[in-house]
Chain A
Amino acid sequence: MQKGTMFVVTALLLFGIALPLFAGGDAEEQADGVVELVIPHYKAGQNVGARFFLPQVERFNAAYEGRYRIVIEELPQDGYRDKIKQLAQQDRLPALIEGADHIWFEDVMVANDRVLDLGPWLDEHPEIGSLLIDDAVEYNTQGGKIVSLPFAVVRPIGLFYNETLYEPTQRIGAMTFDEFVASLGDDRIAFMTSENAWTTGLFLTSLIMDEPGGVEMLRAGVVDKVYDYTGPIWLAATTKLQRFLQDHATLNTLGAAYADAANAFMSRNAAVIANGPWMVNDFTPDAADKWSGGFSGEQVRGDIYPGNAAIANVMDYNWWIPVSASEREREAALAFLEFMMQPDELEAFMLAEGGTAPKLDVSPDFLEALAENPILSDLATAVNADTAFSVAVYDVMPNSIANEEFGKQLPKLIDGSFTPAEFLAELTEKAEETRM
């Protein structure tokens, strides 16, 4: 081989190795001067949240045509937060992120000043600040900075039931749990054990809220997290949960993921499912391809949990912007937040996914449209001044307990291999192991 050829080959080899080391990062500003934000997000594809979110992004792109454009990169909901953590390690975070694992966000992002303070922006936009819920503002204010956009809308999580299968004698929220069990008869509830066992965890939360001191315990756990589940409140609630799982669970509960639980409900194999108001999207005619077994969205009614309890958590992290975003990216990201917080967008959100905005003077059109949606009306009217609100069990557990262990241990609670006390002892042991 000639010297020249050898040199070229070697140079190409070295270039090939070096290229990936220097590559990375998306070109933010396009040739046409438009700032494009590529946002990885789970509210895309078949995800239930996509039905409102994607059109909202399109509305934003249309409103800011020629200036900003948001492109959504689809991620599975299960892996979204892990993906964000990985991107943070690589210092390649997108300019807009929704939510975060509390401990990671506080210990890594906030503690190292890697999150943009939204305070000055909110000061410039008092019309947005005036809509934010006080508890949410307080929670999101850390060290004098507002680390993520506090919530303006609270979405009470309750349950849905199929009135052709289950006819409650009165509003479920007005019943006691004993009355609820009696009224349930042989009807089934769509529980699950895979993923994070979401519908089962919500039901357990409602059972904990029904115990004296349960609501207070859950609320206190948001900040400090709960590592010990062996107390009497957990034991009483889990004992009841085991009975529900053994007597009223759908046949596919063992190993069921969320899609399986939702499918059980939307195929009339389950009369009841615990879930948030965003599920109403699945009950509109647009989602009829998900229905089977004679199910129709018109058969569905919504309510809160027995004992006049609902799950709602405004003490959580919402949309945030990393400081690694460039000036132009920040502008685009803030423009999107501003767009989302417009009253008509908030109303559209509430009509699509339910919820109430306590500080927003809603329009007559909104009230009219809400009245036309019986399920959302059910949920809106189910809540009264005496309704107890609490966070879900997922908000008080360490990450791996909430996302892995809780669902993983449930099969043994269902088949009786674990007593409720053993189940809780196992979870406690696992939770302690996460504390280092």
Chain B
Amino acid sequence: MKLDRISQKSLPWVYLFILPSVLVFLIFYLVPIVTVFATSLTHWDGYNAPVFEGLQNYGRLFTRDSFLISLRNLLWWSVIAATLHVGFGVLIAFLFYRRSTGWRAVRAAFMIPNVISAAALAMIYRFLFNNDFGLLNGFIRIFAPNFSVNWLFQSPYAFWAVTLTWLFYAVIVTLIVHAELMSIPTELHEAAHIDGASEFQIAARIDLPLCRYSIGTSVILAITSRIAMYEAVALTTRGGPGDDTMNIPIILVNSITDLNYGFANAAAVVMFLLGILTLLLVNWLFKMNKRGF
């Protein structure tokens, strides 16, 4: 395609304006990603020159019990995130969309946890789940006075306690889905009403399918957040008790503590590839490259 004279004249300016973004991408994204991939094939203490050792780090990683447990935990957390977590966020988005009585108050309450830092939330949950004075056990003891469970430090409860620290914080999902709901043409709803469709039928047969992209995006975000989840685990159980709540970011950070940067970067590469796999899988499942309406 041939550019017209004005377009050709402004081409240098276009490149100049793109340059900052390209530089940012190269310096802060591409170079580190390439470095991580390259050094994952080396023995590297983070300071001295890396020594190439092929796929040994990956061999060690995939034979490590804690890594296999991390993968199992990630699989469970991903299933929970893609179903319950996203489902809850979508439900709230639909409630907001209907503007039922008191929806503004609910919206405010729903948004508040999102402005609290992950570290503060983790501390709140440490208190909430405390066996001696935690709110949860205090409530349960009203009905069962001798009840005693250390939710974050006892098998098998720790996994579920950690899950609860993020399960209902689905504000991002709600915002994304709500935005897409708002963009649905009202003519579709009017036509459905004329055809005698109920509100539930409109929601289930029209709104939900039309939110396919935003729900797909939410599933991607929810799962990739679980792949990269560090604070929620590090500030509560640190992967324990034993390896019950272990995940790949904890393995990565522990390896850095032991100056095994090459190994840590192998874990990072696995996280990266899992993220890409999630992206492709959800794109395919939700047919996100096909037109909606």
Name A313-349 residues within 8 Å CB distance of B: none
Name A84-106 residues within 8 Å CB distance of B: 85, 88-89, 103-104
User: Is the pair A415, B65 in contact by a Cβ cutoff of 8 Å?
Assistant: no
- Closest B residue by C-beta to A15: B20
- Closest B residue by C-beta to A255: B153
Instruction: Evaluate whether A408 and B131 lie within 8 angstroms (CB atoms) in the complex, with A107-B259, A399-B257, A433-B60 already known.
Output: no
For the complex, what is the distance from the CA of A10 to the CA of B154, rounded to whole Å?
57
Name A223-264 residues within 8 Å CB distance of B: 251-252, 254-255
For the complex, what is the distance from the CA of A16 to the CA of B60, rounded to whole Å?
43
A418 at the binding interface (Cβ < 8 Å): yes
Name B6-42 residues within 8 Å CB distance of A: 13, 16-17, 19-20, 23-24, 27
Interface string of B223-252 (1 = CB under 8 A from A): 000000000000001111110000000000
User: Is the pair A408, B238 in contact by a Cβ cutoff of 8 Å?
Assistant: yes
Interface string of B257-277 (1 = CB under 8 A from A): 111101100000000000000
For the complex, what is the distance from the CA of A358 to the CA of B49, rounded to whole Å?
43
Name A12-59 residues within 8 Å CB distance of B: 13-14, 16-17, 21
Kindly count the residue-residue contacts between A and B in the assembled complex, taking CB atoms under 8 Å apart: 105
- Closest A residue by C-beta to B23: A17
The interface size of chain A toward B, counting residues with CB under 8 Å, comes to 42
Quote the shortest CB–CB distance from B152 to chain A (angstroms). Answer: 6
For the complex, what is the distance from the CA of A380 to the CA of B66, rounded to whole Å?
45
CB neighbours (8 Å) of B60 from chain A are 433, 436
- Closest B residue by C-beta to A81: B257
User: Is the pair B46, A411 in contact by a Cβ cutoff of 8 Å?
Assistant: no
CB neighbours (8 Å) of A408 from chain B are 237-242
B150 interface neighbour in A85, A254, A399, Cβ under 8 Å: A254
B293 at the binding interface (Cβ < 8 Å): no
For the complex, what is the distance from the CA of A108 to the CA of B13, rounded to whole Å?
47
B64 interface neighbour in A112, A409, A433, Cβ under 8 Å: A433
CB neighbours (8 Å) of A381 from chain B are none
Quote the shortest CB–CB distance from A373 to chain B (angstroms). Answer: 34
User: Is the pair A112, B47 in contact by a Cβ cutoff of 8 Å?
Assistant: yes
Quote the shortest CB–CB distance from A427 to chain B (angstroms). Answer: 11
User: Is the pair A426, B13 in contact by a Cβ cutoff of 8 Å?
Assistant: no
Quote the shortest CB–CB distance from B188 to chain A (angstroms). Answer: 41
Instruction: Evaluate whether A409 and B240 lie within 8 angstroms (CB atoms) in the complex, with A10-B16, A107-B48, A436-B60 already known.
Output: yes
A284 at the binding interface (Cβ < 8 Å): no
For the complex, what is the distance from the CA of A254 to the CA of B131, rounded to whole Å?
9
CB neighbours (8 Å) of A403 from chain B are 257
User: Is the pair B260, A411 in contact by a Cβ cutoff of 8 Å?
Assistant: no
Name B91-130 residues within 8 Å CB distance of A: 126, 130
B259 interface neighbour in A17, A104, A194, A417, Cβ under 8 Å: A104
Instruction: Evaluate whether A434 and B258 lie within 8 angstroms (CB atoms) in the complex, with A108-B46, A408-B238 already known.
Output: yes
A193 at the binding interface (Cβ < 8 Å): yes
Instruction: Evaluate whether A418 and B43 lie within 8 angstroms (CB atoms) in the complex, with A254-B153, A255-B150 already known.
Output: no
Instruction: Evaluate whether A108 and B45 lie within 8 angstroms (CB atoms) in the complex, with A255-B152, A434-B258 already known.
Output: yes
A186 at the binding interface (Cβ < 8 Å): no
User: Is the pair A17, B242 in contact by a Cβ cutoff of 8 Å?
Assistant: no
Quote the shortest CB–CB distance from A333 to chain B (angstroms). Answer: 22
Known: A108-B47, A193-B153, A412-B242. 20 other contacts (CB 8 A): A6-B13, A6-B16, A82-B256, A85-B46, A89-B46, A103-B258, A112-B47, A112-B48, A254-B153, A254-B154, A255-B150, A400-B255, A409-B240, A411-B153, A411-B154, A415-B241, A430-B66, A433-B66, A434-B258, A436-B263
B residues bordering A, Cβ < 8 Å?
13, 16-17, 19-20, 23-24, 27, 43, 45-48, 60, 64-66, 126, 130-132, 150, 152-155, 237-242, 254-260, 262-263
Among all A-B residue pairs, the 5 with the closest Cβ atoms: A408-B240, A411-B241, A254-B153, A255-B153, A434-B258
Interchain Cβ contacts under 8 Å between A and B, 19 examples: A6-B13, A16-B20, A17-B24, A82-B257, A88-B47, A108-B46, A112-B47, A194-B238, A252-B130, A255-B150, A255-B152, A398-B258, A407-B238, A409-B242, A411-B154, A411-B240, A415-B154, A417-B155, A436-B60
